[in-house]
Amino acid sequence: MPIKKEDRVVDTDNIQGSIWPRLPKYYESYLFFKITNKGRFRKHLRALVDKKKITTGSQCEEHLLAVKEFEEACAHSRRDVPESEREPFTAVNIAFTHMGLLKVEDPAVATRFAETLKEDRDAYCKERINEGLFEKGMFDDLVYEGADSPPALHPDFRAPPGNENKKDPERWEWRVDGVFIVAAHTSEALRAKIGEVENEFHTGDANKISMRIAFRRDGQVRPGADRGKEHFGYEDHISQPKIKGLDDPPATGEPHACPPGYIFLGHEGDPNKKRGPAWAKEGSFFVFRQLDQKVPEFNTFLKEAAPTIPGTNYSGDDGPEKLGAHLMGRWKSGCPITSAERPEAIDRDVPELAFSNKFDFRPKKSIKGCPFAAHIRKMRPRADKKQDIGTEDDGDNEPIPDLETDEILAEGQHEDASVILRRGIAFGPELTEEEIEQNKTIEQRGIYFTCYQSLIRDGFNFLMTRWASNASFPEYKAKTYPDGPGMDPFINQRLRKDHPTGHISLYDGVNPDRTVKLELGLSPWVHQRGGEYFFTPSIKALREQFSAP
Protein backbone atom coordinates (compact mmCIF):
# COMPACT_ATOMS: atom_id res chain seq x y z
CA MET A 1 0.00 0.00 0.00
CA PRO A 2 1.17 3.57 -0.59
CA ILE A 3 1.68 6.16 2.11
CA LYS A 4 -0.70 9.09 2.36
CA LYS A 5 -0.55 11.39 -0.64
CA GLU A 6 0.28 14.48 1.40
CA ASP A 7 3.30 12.73 2.92
CA ARG A 8 4.89 11.54 -0.33
CA VAL A 9 8.22 12.76 -1.60
CA VAL A 10 7.22 12.02 -5.20
CA ASP A 11 4.28 13.83 -6.81
CA THR A 12 2.21 10.98 -8.20
CA ASP A 13 0.06 13.41 -10.19
CA ASN A 14 3.23 14.36 -12.04
CA ILE A 15 4.71 10.95 -12.83
CA GLN A 16 3.65 8.57 -15.58
CA GLY A 17 1.83 5.56 -14.18
CA SER A 18 3.93 2.89 -15.88
CA ILE A 19 6.76 3.84 -13.51
CA TRP A 20 4.71 3.73 -10.32
CA PRO A 21 2.57 2.02 -9.23
CA ARG A 22 2.31 0.29 -12.70
CA LEU A 23 -0.20 0.27 -15.55
CA PRO A 24 -3.19 -1.99 -14.81
CA LYS A 25 -3.25 -4.24 -17.87
CA TYR A 26 -4.29 -7.46 -19.50
CA TYR A 27 -3.14 -6.29 -22.92
CA GLU A 28 -0.29 -3.91 -23.70
CA SER A 29 1.17 -2.56 -26.93
CA TYR A 30 4.42 -0.70 -27.47
CA LEU A 31 4.13 1.68 -30.43
CA PHE A 32 7.63 2.67 -31.53
CA PHE A 33 7.43 5.90 -33.51
CA LYS A 34 9.43 8.29 -35.67
CA ILE A 35 8.66 12.01 -35.62
CA THR A 36 7.92 13.31 -39.13
CA ASN A 37 7.18 16.97 -38.34
CA LYS A 38 8.73 18.45 -35.18
CA GLY A 39 6.52 21.54 -34.95
CA ARG A 40 3.27 19.65 -35.41
CA PHE A 41 4.37 16.90 -33.06
CA ARG A 42 4.94 19.38 -30.24
CA LYS A 43 1.44 20.78 -30.74
CA HIS A 44 -0.18 17.36 -30.97
CA LEU A 45 1.63 16.23 -27.83
CA ARG A 46 0.40 19.31 -25.96
CA ALA A 47 -3.16 18.44 -26.93
CA LEU A 48 -2.68 14.91 -25.64
CA VAL A 49 -1.34 16.24 -22.33
CA ASP A 50 -3.99 18.93 -21.93
CA LYS A 51 -6.75 16.38 -22.51
CA LYS A 52 -5.22 14.36 -19.66
CA LYS A 53 -4.67 11.37 -21.91
CA ILE A 54 -1.21 10.64 -20.47
CA THR A 55 -1.99 8.33 -17.56
CA THR A 56 -0.51 9.40 -14.23
CA GLY A 57 0.62 7.41 -11.22
CA SER A 58 -2.35 8.70 -9.23
CA GLN A 59 -4.83 7.47 -11.84
CA CYS A 60 -3.30 3.99 -11.85
CA GLU A 61 -3.22 3.96 -8.05
CA GLU A 62 -6.89 4.88 -7.82
CA HIS A 63 -7.91 2.05 -10.15
CA LEU A 64 -5.67 -0.57 -8.54
CA LEU A 65 -7.00 0.29 -5.08
CA ALA A 66 -10.59 0.13 -6.36
CA VAL A 67 -10.11 -3.40 -7.71
CA LYS A 68 -8.01 -4.37 -4.66
CA GLU A 69 -4.93 -5.11 -6.79
CA PHE A 70 -2.54 -2.42 -5.61
CA GLU A 71 -0.29 -5.13 -4.20
CA GLU A 72 1.12 -6.72 -7.33
CA ALA A 73 2.62 -9.95 -5.99
CA CYS A 74 -0.30 -11.68 -4.29
CA ALA A 75 -2.86 -14.33 -5.12
CA HIS A 76 -5.69 -11.80 -5.49
CA SER A 77 -3.83 -9.79 -8.13
CA ARG A 78 -2.93 -12.99 -10.02
CA ARG A 79 -6.43 -14.52 -10.00
CA ASP A 80 -8.27 -15.20 -13.25
CA VAL A 81 -10.83 -12.47 -13.91
CA PRO A 82 -13.18 -13.16 -16.84
CA GLU A 83 -13.27 -10.40 -19.41
CA SER A 84 -16.91 -9.59 -18.62
CA GLU A 85 -16.03 -8.94 -14.97
CA ARG A 86 -13.02 -6.65 -15.48
CA GLU A 87 -13.33 -3.03 -14.45
CA PRO A 88 -12.59 -0.91 -17.55
CA PHE A 89 -9.26 0.89 -17.58
CA THR A 90 -7.12 2.08 -20.45
CA ALA A 91 -3.83 3.95 -20.27
CA VAL A 92 -1.28 5.75 -22.43
CA ASN A 93 2.30 6.65 -21.50
CA ILE A 94 5.12 8.03 -23.64
CA ALA A 95 8.91 7.88 -23.56
CA PHE A 96 11.64 9.23 -25.86
CA THR A 97 15.03 8.09 -27.07
CA HIS A 98 17.92 10.54 -27.02
CA MET A 99 17.21 11.37 -30.66
CA GLY A 100 13.55 11.92 -29.90
CA LEU A 101 14.25 14.31 -27.04
CA LEU A 102 16.47 16.38 -29.32
CA LYS A 103 13.59 16.70 -31.77
CA VAL A 104 10.95 17.75 -29.26
CA GLU A 105 13.02 19.98 -26.97
CA ASP A 106 12.41 23.72 -26.85
CA PRO A 107 13.99 25.17 -30.05
CA ALA A 108 15.64 27.90 -27.98
CA VAL A 109 17.57 25.24 -26.03
CA ALA A 110 18.78 23.64 -29.24
CA THR A 111 19.97 27.02 -30.55
CA ARG A 112 21.86 27.88 -27.36
CA PHE A 113 23.52 24.48 -27.25
CA ALA A 114 24.54 24.66 -30.91
CA GLU A 115 26.21 28.00 -30.26
CA THR A 116 28.01 26.58 -27.23
CA LEU A 117 29.33 23.61 -29.21
CA LYS A 118 30.97 25.96 -31.70
CA GLU A 119 33.25 27.10 -28.90
CA ASP A 120 33.61 23.77 -27.06
CA ARG A 121 32.83 20.48 -28.80
CA ASP A 122 32.71 18.64 -25.45
CA ALA A 123 30.62 21.22 -23.62
CA TYR A 124 28.28 20.03 -20.87
CA CYS A 125 24.69 21.23 -21.22
CA LYS A 126 22.79 21.74 -17.98
CA GLU A 127 19.56 21.97 -19.96
CA ARG A 128 19.94 18.48 -21.39
CA ILE A 129 20.26 14.97 -20.00
CA ASN A 130 23.91 13.97 -20.03
CA GLU A 131 23.70 10.18 -19.76
CA GLY A 132 26.09 8.40 -22.10
CA LEU A 133 24.30 5.06 -22.42
CA PHE A 134 20.94 6.74 -23.03
CA GLU A 135 22.55 8.85 -25.74
CA LYS A 136 24.10 5.84 -27.49
CA GLY A 137 21.11 3.54 -27.13
CA MET A 138 21.00 -0.19 -26.46
CA PHE A 139 22.54 -1.25 -29.78
CA ASP A 140 25.72 0.80 -29.39
CA ASP A 141 25.91 -0.07 -25.70
CA LEU A 142 25.43 -3.83 -25.86
CA VAL A 143 26.96 -4.55 -29.27
CA TYR A 144 30.05 -2.36 -29.26
CA GLU A 145 30.65 -2.54 -25.51
CA GLY A 146 28.62 -5.61 -24.47
CA ALA A 147 27.82 -9.05 -25.80
CA ASP A 148 24.84 -8.59 -28.14
CA SER A 149 25.42 -10.22 -31.54
CA PRO A 150 23.92 -8.18 -34.43
CA PRO A 151 22.80 -11.25 -36.43
CA ALA A 152 20.82 -12.46 -33.40
CA LEU A 153 19.00 -9.15 -32.91
CA HIS A 154 15.63 -8.42 -34.42
CA PRO A 155 15.99 -6.12 -37.47
CA ASP A 156 13.91 -3.46 -35.69
CA PHE A 157 16.65 -3.13 -33.07
CA ARG A 158 19.65 -3.59 -35.33
CA ALA A 159 21.68 -0.80 -36.94
CA PRO A 160 22.07 -0.91 -40.74
CA PRO A 161 25.38 -2.19 -42.22
CA GLY A 162 28.15 0.41 -42.19
CA ASN A 163 26.55 2.33 -39.35
CA GLU A 164 29.59 1.85 -37.11
CA ASN A 165 31.63 4.10 -39.41
CA LYS A 166 29.32 7.07 -38.96
CA LYS A 167 29.82 9.80 -36.37
CA ASP A 168 27.28 10.86 -33.80
CA PRO A 169 24.55 11.96 -34.09
CA GLU A 170 24.29 10.58 -37.65
CA ARG A 171 25.02 7.04 -36.48
CA TRP A 172 21.87 7.10 -34.33
CA GLU A 173 19.42 8.39 -36.91
CA TRP A 174 18.17 4.88 -37.70
CA ARG A 175 16.75 4.55 -34.17
CA VAL A 176 13.16 5.31 -33.29
CA ASP A 177 12.35 8.62 -31.59
CA GLY A 178 10.06 7.26 -28.92
CA VAL A 179 7.46 4.77 -27.78
CA PHE A 180 3.84 4.95 -26.72
CA ILE A 181 2.87 2.38 -24.11
CA VAL A 182 -0.82 1.58 -24.45
CA ALA A 183 -2.56 -0.73 -21.97
CA ALA A 184 -6.13 -1.95 -21.59
CA HIS A 185 -8.40 -4.52 -19.95
CA THR A 186 -9.52 -6.10 -23.25
CA SER A 187 -8.06 -6.40 -26.73
CA GLU A 188 -10.99 -4.42 -28.13
CA ALA A 189 -10.38 -1.57 -25.67
CA LEU A 190 -6.69 -1.66 -26.56
CA ARG A 191 -7.40 -1.24 -30.27
CA ALA A 192 -9.71 1.67 -29.53
CA LYS A 193 -7.10 3.36 -27.33
CA ILE A 194 -4.42 2.96 -29.99
CA GLY A 195 -6.85 4.57 -32.44
CA GLU A 196 -7.22 7.54 -30.07
CA VAL A 197 -3.45 8.02 -29.99
CA GLU A 198 -3.15 7.84 -33.77
CA ASN A 199 -6.01 10.32 -34.15
CA GLU A 200 -4.28 12.85 -31.89
CA PHE A 201 -1.25 12.77 -34.18
CA HIS A 202 -3.34 12.63 -37.37
CA THR A 203 -1.80 9.45 -38.73
CA GLY A 204 -3.14 8.80 -42.21
CA ASP A 205 -3.51 12.49 -43.12
CA ALA A 206 -0.46 13.48 -45.19
CA ASN A 207 -1.08 17.19 -44.53
CA LYS A 208 -1.43 16.96 -40.75
CA ILE A 209 0.55 13.91 -39.62
CA SER A 210 3.39 14.53 -37.16
CA MET A 211 4.64 11.00 -36.43
CA ARG A 212 4.43 7.49 -37.86
CA ILE A 213 4.46 4.15 -36.11
CA ALA A 214 7.70 2.48 -37.23
CA PHE A 215 6.82 -0.88 -35.65
CA ARG A 216 4.95 -2.23 -32.66
CA ARG A 217 5.05 -5.03 -30.12
CA ASP A 218 1.89 -6.56 -28.62
CA GLY A 219 1.85 -8.37 -25.29
CA GLN A 220 -0.78 -9.85 -23.02
CA VAL A 221 -0.94 -11.57 -19.66
CA ARG A 222 -1.18 -15.33 -19.85
CA PRO A 223 -4.70 -16.76 -19.58
CA GLY A 224 -6.53 -18.33 -16.66
CA ALA A 225 -4.52 -19.53 -13.70
CA ASP A 226 -1.29 -18.51 -15.46
CA ARG A 227 -2.01 -14.80 -15.11
CA GLY A 228 1.21 -13.23 -13.81
CA LYS A 229 3.46 -16.10 -14.91
CA GLU A 230 6.00 -15.99 -17.71
CA HIS A 231 6.07 -18.78 -20.31
CA PHE A 232 8.47 -21.04 -18.41
CA GLY A 233 5.76 -21.13 -15.75
CA TYR A 234 7.32 -19.03 -12.97
CA GLU A 235 5.57 -16.15 -11.24
CA ASP A 236 6.97 -12.85 -12.52
CA HIS A 237 7.32 -9.37 -10.98
CA ILE A 238 7.86 -10.51 -7.40
CA SER A 239 10.08 -8.63 -4.93
CA GLN A 240 9.81 -5.21 -6.49
CA PRO A 241 11.86 -2.69 -4.48
CA LYS A 242 9.83 -0.46 -2.20
CA ILE A 243 10.47 3.26 -2.50
CA LYS A 244 11.10 5.30 0.61
CA GLY A 245 8.62 8.15 0.94
CA LEU A 246 6.18 6.57 -1.52
CA ASP A 247 5.43 2.97 -0.52
CA ASP A 248 4.56 1.73 2.94
CA PRO A 249 7.69 0.53 4.79
CA PRO A 250 8.68 -3.10 4.12
CA ALA A 251 7.56 -5.76 6.58
CA THR A 252 10.05 -7.20 9.07
CA GLY A 253 12.41 -9.54 7.26
CA GLU A 254 11.98 -7.92 3.84
CA PRO A 255 14.68 -5.87 2.06
CA HIS A 256 14.85 -2.26 3.15
CA ALA A 257 13.20 0.47 1.09
CA CYS A 258 15.39 2.25 -1.43
CA PRO A 259 15.76 6.02 -1.86
CA PRO A 260 13.36 7.48 -4.45
CA GLY A 261 16.34 8.68 -6.49
CA TYR A 262 17.20 5.10 -7.45
CA ILE A 263 14.14 5.24 -9.72
CA PHE A 264 13.20 8.91 -10.16
CA LEU A 265 15.62 11.58 -11.30
CA GLY A 266 16.08 14.63 -9.10
CA HIS A 267 15.38 12.91 -5.79
CA GLU A 268 17.55 11.65 -2.94
CA GLY A 269 19.66 8.77 -4.25
CA ASP A 270 19.90 10.02 -7.84
CA PRO A 271 23.66 10.16 -8.55
CA ASN A 272 23.15 13.04 -10.99
CA LYS A 273 20.75 15.00 -8.80
CA LYS A 274 22.95 18.11 -8.81
CA ARG A 275 24.00 17.81 -12.45
CA GLY A 276 20.77 17.07 -14.29
CA PRO A 277 18.35 19.60 -15.78
CA ALA A 278 15.50 20.74 -13.55
CA TRP A 279 12.86 19.50 -16.00
CA ALA A 280 14.14 15.90 -15.68
CA LYS A 281 12.91 15.65 -12.08
CA GLU A 282 10.44 12.79 -11.54
CA GLY A 283 11.28 11.29 -14.90
CA SER A 284 12.89 7.88 -15.20
CA PHE A 285 14.97 5.96 -17.72
CA PHE A 286 12.99 3.20 -19.41
CA VAL A 287 14.57 0.07 -20.88
CA PHE A 288 12.78 -2.17 -23.39
CA ARG A 289 14.25 -5.57 -24.30
CA GLN A 290 12.74 -8.49 -26.22
CA LEU A 291 13.47 -11.94 -24.78
CA ASP A 292 12.29 -14.93 -26.82
CA GLN A 293 11.71 -18.04 -24.69
CA LYS A 294 12.18 -21.63 -25.89
CA VAL A 295 9.89 -23.49 -23.50
CA PRO A 296 10.17 -27.09 -24.80
CA GLU A 297 13.95 -26.73 -25.01
CA PHE A 298 14.12 -25.49 -21.41
CA ASN A 299 11.98 -28.36 -20.15
CA THR A 300 14.12 -30.84 -22.09
CA PHE A 301 17.29 -29.44 -20.55
CA LEU A 302 15.91 -29.90 -17.03
CA LYS A 303 14.88 -33.50 -17.71
CA GLU A 304 18.21 -34.40 -19.27
CA ALA A 305 20.51 -32.44 -16.94
CA ALA A 306 19.05 -33.35 -13.52
CA PRO A 307 20.07 -37.06 -13.60
CA THR A 308 23.61 -36.16 -14.69
CA ILE A 309 24.38 -33.94 -11.68
CA PRO A 310 26.58 -35.83 -9.18
CA GLY A 311 25.18 -36.56 -5.75
CA THR A 312 21.60 -36.82 -4.54
CA ASN A 313 20.28 -33.25 -4.69
CA TYR A 314 18.61 -33.57 -8.09
CA SER A 315 18.00 -37.30 -8.28
CA GLY A 316 14.54 -38.83 -8.42
CA ASP A 317 11.35 -37.99 -10.26
CA ASP A 318 11.19 -34.46 -8.83
CA GLY A 319 14.79 -33.69 -9.84
CA PRO A 320 13.96 -31.65 -12.99
CA GLU A 321 11.37 -29.54 -11.17
CA LYS A 322 13.79 -28.90 -8.32
CA LEU A 323 16.61 -28.03 -10.71
CA GLY A 324 14.40 -25.49 -12.49
CA ALA A 325 13.45 -23.91 -9.16
CA HIS A 326 17.12 -23.71 -8.16
CA LEU A 327 18.06 -22.09 -11.47
CA MET A 328 15.32 -19.49 -11.00
CA GLY A 329 15.57 -19.12 -7.21
CA ARG A 330 11.82 -19.67 -6.75
CA TRP A 331 9.41 -22.52 -7.29
CA LYS A 332 6.75 -22.01 -9.93
CA SER A 333 4.26 -21.09 -7.20
CA GLY A 334 6.43 -18.07 -6.38
CA CYS A 335 7.80 -19.60 -3.18
CA PRO A 336 11.48 -18.66 -2.69
CA ILE A 337 13.77 -21.66 -2.32
CA THR A 338 15.50 -19.92 0.58
CA SER A 339 13.33 -19.08 3.57
CA ALA A 340 14.06 -18.52 7.26
CA GLU A 341 10.38 -19.28 7.90
CA ARG A 342 10.37 -22.66 6.17
CA PRO A 343 13.87 -24.11 5.57
CA GLU A 344 12.37 -27.10 3.77
CA ALA A 345 11.56 -24.79 0.81
CA ILE A 346 15.04 -25.52 -0.51
CA ASP A 347 13.89 -29.08 -1.30
CA ARG A 348 10.19 -28.75 -2.03
CA ASP A 349 7.59 -26.17 -2.97
CA VAL A 350 5.75 -24.51 -0.09
CA PRO A 351 2.81 -22.82 -1.88
CA GLU A 352 1.72 -20.90 1.21
CA LEU A 353 4.98 -18.91 0.85
CA ALA A 354 4.14 -17.88 -2.71
CA PHE A 355 5.26 -14.25 -3.26
CA SER A 356 7.18 -14.18 0.04
CA ASN A 357 9.89 -11.55 0.18
CA LYS A 358 11.20 -12.33 3.66
CA PHE A 359 14.67 -13.63 2.87
CA ASP A 360 18.15 -12.23 2.39
CA PHE A 361 20.25 -15.23 1.20
CA ARG A 362 21.81 -15.59 4.65
CA PRO A 363 23.91 -17.49 5.68
CA LYS A 364 25.44 -16.11 2.53
CA LYS A 365 28.48 -18.38 2.17
CA SER A 366 26.67 -21.68 2.54
CA ILE A 367 26.24 -23.69 -0.66
CA LYS A 368 23.27 -25.57 0.80
CA GLY A 369 20.86 -22.68 0.23
CA CYS A 370 19.96 -20.77 -2.93
CA PRO A 371 22.63 -21.29 -5.62
CA PHE A 372 24.80 -18.18 -5.82
CA ALA A 373 24.07 -17.77 -9.54
CA ALA A 374 20.30 -18.39 -9.42
CA HIS A 375 18.45 -15.78 -11.47
CA ILE A 376 16.80 -13.92 -8.60
CA ARG A 377 20.08 -13.86 -6.66
CA LYS A 378 22.07 -12.53 -9.60
CA MET A 379 19.51 -9.80 -10.23
CA ARG A 380 19.09 -8.81 -6.58
CA PRO A 381 21.89 -10.26 -4.45
CA ARG A 382 20.59 -8.84 -1.18
CA ALA A 383 22.99 -9.91 1.62
CA ASP A 384 25.71 -10.76 -0.92
CA LYS A 385 26.21 -7.00 -1.34
CA LYS A 386 25.79 -6.11 2.32
CA GLN A 387 28.11 -6.01 5.29
CA ASP A 388 28.52 -9.29 7.17
CA ILE A 389 26.41 -9.92 10.26
CA GLY A 390 26.19 -13.11 12.27
CA THR A 391 27.85 -16.27 10.99
CA GLU A 392 28.05 -16.31 7.22
CA ASP A 393 28.32 -20.07 6.74
CA ASP A 394 26.00 -22.78 8.09
CA GLY A 395 25.53 -21.29 11.52
CA ASP A 396 23.44 -18.28 12.53
CA ASN A 397 20.85 -16.92 10.14
CA GLU A 398 20.58 -13.44 11.60
CA PRO A 399 17.44 -11.48 10.70
CA ILE A 400 17.79 -8.37 8.55
CA PRO A 401 18.54 -5.45 10.90
CA ASP A 402 15.89 -2.78 11.26
CA LEU A 403 17.29 0.45 9.83
CA GLU A 404 15.02 2.57 11.99
CA THR A 405 15.72 1.05 15.41
CA ASP A 406 19.19 -0.47 15.20
CA GLU A 407 21.49 1.97 13.42
CA ILE A 408 24.69 0.15 14.43
CA LEU A 409 23.69 -3.25 13.04
CA ALA A 410 21.98 -1.56 10.09
CA GLU A 411 25.25 0.03 8.96
CA GLY A 412 26.12 -1.45 5.57
CA GLN A 413 22.69 -3.06 5.13
CA HIS A 414 21.13 -0.48 2.80
CA GLU A 415 19.85 -1.51 -0.62
CA ASP A 416 22.25 -1.41 -3.55
CA ALA A 417 21.78 1.29 -6.22
CA SER A 418 21.26 -1.39 -8.87
CA VAL A 419 17.59 -1.96 -7.98
CA ILE A 420 15.10 -1.53 -10.81
CA LEU A 421 11.32 -1.50 -11.16
CA ARG A 422 10.27 -4.26 -13.61
CA ARG A 423 7.17 -3.57 -15.71
CA GLY A 424 7.21 -5.99 -18.65
CA ILE A 425 4.62 -8.39 -20.07
CA ALA A 426 4.50 -11.79 -21.75
CA PHE A 427 3.90 -12.12 -25.48
CA GLY A 428 3.02 -14.90 -27.85
CA PRO A 429 0.60 -17.84 -27.72
CA GLU A 430 0.48 -20.73 -25.29
CA LEU A 431 2.25 -23.92 -26.33
CA THR A 432 0.49 -25.54 -29.27
CA GLU A 433 -0.31 -29.24 -29.58
CA GLU A 434 2.24 -29.48 -32.39
CA GLU A 435 4.98 -28.02 -30.21
CA ILE A 436 4.12 -30.38 -27.37
CA GLU A 437 4.17 -33.38 -29.72
CA GLN A 438 7.46 -32.39 -31.39
CA ASN A 439 8.98 -31.03 -28.15
CA LYS A 440 10.25 -28.07 -30.16
CA THR A 441 9.52 -24.33 -30.29
CA ILE A 442 7.60 -23.32 -33.42
CA GLU A 443 5.69 -20.19 -32.37
CA GLN A 444 7.43 -17.05 -31.11
CA ARG A 445 6.79 -16.26 -27.45
CA GLY A 446 8.60 -14.69 -24.56
CA ILE A 447 8.81 -11.56 -22.44
CA TYR A 448 8.94 -7.92 -23.35
CA PHE A 449 11.21 -7.06 -20.45
CA THR A 450 10.96 -3.44 -19.35
CA CYS A 451 12.34 -1.62 -16.33
CA TYR A 452 12.79 1.82 -14.80
CA GLN A 453 15.83 3.34 -13.07
CA SER A 454 17.43 6.74 -12.57
CA LEU A 455 20.67 5.69 -14.28
CA ILE A 456 20.93 2.95 -16.92
CA ARG A 457 24.57 2.30 -16.10
CA ASP A 458 23.74 1.56 -12.44
CA GLY A 459 20.59 -0.39 -13.31
CA PHE A 460 19.96 -2.50 -16.39
CA ASN A 461 23.44 -2.25 -17.89
CA PHE A 462 25.12 -3.16 -14.61
CA LEU A 463 22.84 -6.13 -14.01
CA MET A 464 23.39 -7.50 -17.51
CA THR A 465 27.11 -7.01 -17.95
CA ARG A 466 28.58 -7.01 -14.43
CA TRP A 467 26.41 -9.57 -12.67
CA ALA A 468 24.38 -11.83 -14.99
CA SER A 469 27.32 -12.68 -17.25
CA ASN A 470 30.07 -12.61 -14.62
CA ALA A 471 30.87 -16.16 -13.44
CA SER A 472 32.76 -14.76 -10.42
CA PHE A 473 29.78 -12.85 -9.01
CA PRO A 474 28.72 -12.91 -6.19
CA GLU A 475 32.24 -12.58 -4.86
CA TYR A 476 33.97 -14.41 -2.00
CA LYS A 477 32.21 -17.74 -2.52
CA ALA A 478 35.28 -19.87 -1.79
CA LYS A 479 33.46 -23.20 -1.98
CA THR A 480 32.79 -22.69 -5.70
CA TYR A 481 36.42 -22.21 -6.71
CA PRO A 482 37.98 -22.58 -9.20
CA ASP A 483 34.77 -22.37 -11.23
CA GLY A 484 33.12 -19.47 -9.41
CA PRO A 485 29.36 -19.18 -8.76
CA GLY A 486 28.51 -19.24 -12.47
CA MET A 487 26.30 -17.20 -14.77
CA ASP A 488 22.63 -16.30 -14.68
CA PRO A 489 20.92 -19.39 -16.18
CA PHE A 490 18.39 -17.31 -18.11
CA ILE A 491 20.00 -14.10 -19.36
CA ASN A 492 23.74 -14.72 -19.32
CA GLN A 493 25.83 -13.77 -22.33
CA ARG A 494 29.35 -14.66 -23.36
CA LEU A 495 31.11 -11.32 -23.11
CA ARG A 496 34.07 -12.35 -25.29
CA LYS A 497 34.71 -15.25 -27.65
CA ASP A 498 37.64 -16.42 -25.55
CA HIS A 499 35.45 -16.64 -22.45
CA PRO A 500 33.97 -20.01 -21.45
CA THR A 501 30.29 -20.75 -22.00
CA GLY A 502 27.90 -20.48 -19.11
CA HIS A 503 27.72 -22.75 -16.08
CA ILE A 504 26.22 -22.73 -12.61
CA SER A 505 27.73 -24.14 -9.41
CA LEU A 506 25.35 -26.31 -7.37
CA TYR A 507 25.24 -28.21 -4.09
CA ASP A 508 25.21 -31.95 -4.74
CA GLY A 509 23.37 -32.85 -1.54
CA VAL A 510 26.39 -34.69 -0.14
CA ASN A 511 29.45 -32.45 0.17
CA PRO A 512 28.79 -29.10 1.94
CA ASP A 513 32.35 -27.93 1.26
CA ARG A 514 32.46 -27.94 -2.54
CA THR A 515 29.99 -27.28 -5.35
CA VAL A 516 29.59 -29.26 -8.57
CA LYS A 517 29.56 -27.61 -11.99
CA LEU A 518 26.60 -27.78 -14.38
CA GLU A 519 27.29 -26.57 -17.92
CA LEU A 520 24.59 -24.28 -19.35
CA GLY A 521 25.94 -23.51 -22.80
CA LEU A 522 25.00 -20.21 -24.47
CA SER A 523 21.51 -19.51 -23.06
CA PRO A 524 19.85 -22.01 -25.40
CA TRP A 525 16.36 -21.37 -24.04
CA VAL A 526 16.37 -17.53 -24.03
CA HIS A 527 17.22 -15.56 -27.17
CA GLN A 528 17.96 -11.90 -26.55
CA ARG A 529 16.66 -9.96 -29.54
CA GLY A 530 17.64 -6.41 -28.58
CA GLY A 531 15.72 -3.33 -27.59
CA GLU A 532 16.17 0.35 -26.83
CA TYR A 533 16.80 2.95 -24.10
CA PHE A 534 14.24 5.69 -23.42
CA PHE A 535 13.53 8.52 -21.01
CA THR A 536 10.04 8.86 -19.52
CA PRO A 537 9.44 12.54 -18.66
CA SER A 538 7.12 13.85 -15.98
CA ILE A 539 3.76 15.33 -16.94
CA LYS A 540 5.14 18.80 -16.19
CA ALA A 541 8.11 18.25 -18.49
CA LEU A 542 5.86 16.99 -21.29
CA ARG A 543 3.80 20.15 -21.03
CA GLU A 544 6.51 22.76 -20.46
CA GLN A 545 9.59 21.30 -22.16
CA PHE A 546 8.53 19.06 -25.01
CA SER A 547 5.26 20.42 -26.33
CA ALA A 548 3.80 23.69 -27.55
CA PRO A 549 0.32 25.25 -27.43
Average pLDDT for consecutive 10-residue bins of the chain (549 residues)? 92 98 98 97 98 98 98 96 98 97 83 69 71 94 91 96 86 96 98 98 96 98 97 97 95 91 97 90 98 97 97 97 98 94 94 94 92 98 86 66 66 87 98 97 98 97 94 95 95 81 95 96 89 98 95
Within a domain: residue 354?
A: yes
What is the 8-class DSSP label of residue 257? P
Within a domain: residue 156?
A: no
What predicted TM-score, i.e. pTM, was given to this entire model?
Answer: 0.96
Within a domain: residue 502?
A: yes
Which of 286, 288, 240, 270 shows the shortest CA–CA distance to 10? 270
C-beta of residue 501 within 8 angstroms of C-beta of residue 471:
no
pLDDT at 265: 97
Alpha helices in 449-532, H assignment, sequence order: 460-462
pLDDT at 106: 78
Query: How many other CB atoms are found less than 10 A from the CB of residue 267?
Result: 21
How many Å apart are CA 120 and CA 425, to the nearest integer?
Answer: 44
Please give the angle made by the CA atoms of 521, 522 and 524, to the nearest 5 degrees: 90
Within a domain: residue 313?
A: yes
Residue 496 belongs to domain spanning:
294-416+474-526
Q: What is the DSSP string of 175-195?
A: S-SEEEEEEESSHHHHHHHHH
Strand partners, 446: 292, 427
Exposure string for 455-465, b = 16+ CB within 10 A, e = fewer: bbbbbbbbbbb
Which of 371, 425, 398 shows the shortest CA–CA distance to 181? 425
Within a domain: residue 104?
A: no
pLDDT at 245: 95
Within a domain: residue 514?
A: yes
**3-state secondary structure (DSSP) of residue 7:** helix
* Domain total in the chain: 1
pLDDT at 435: 98
How many Å apart are CA 532 and CA 517, to the nearest integer?
Answer: 34
**Burial class of 110 by CB neighbour count within 10 A (0 to 12, 13 to 18, 19+):** middle
How many Å apart are CA 464 and CA 226, to the nearest integer?
Answer: 27
Within a domain: residue 396?
A: yes
How many Å apart are CA 9 and CA 251, to the nearest integer?
Answer: 20
pLDDT at 419: 95
pLDDT at 411: 72
Q: Which amino acid is at 29?
A: S
From residue 190, give the alpha-carbon distance in Å to each of 28, 31, 413. 7, 12, 43
Q: How many residues does the chain have?
A: 549
Within a domain: residue 26?
A: no
pLDDT at 527: 96
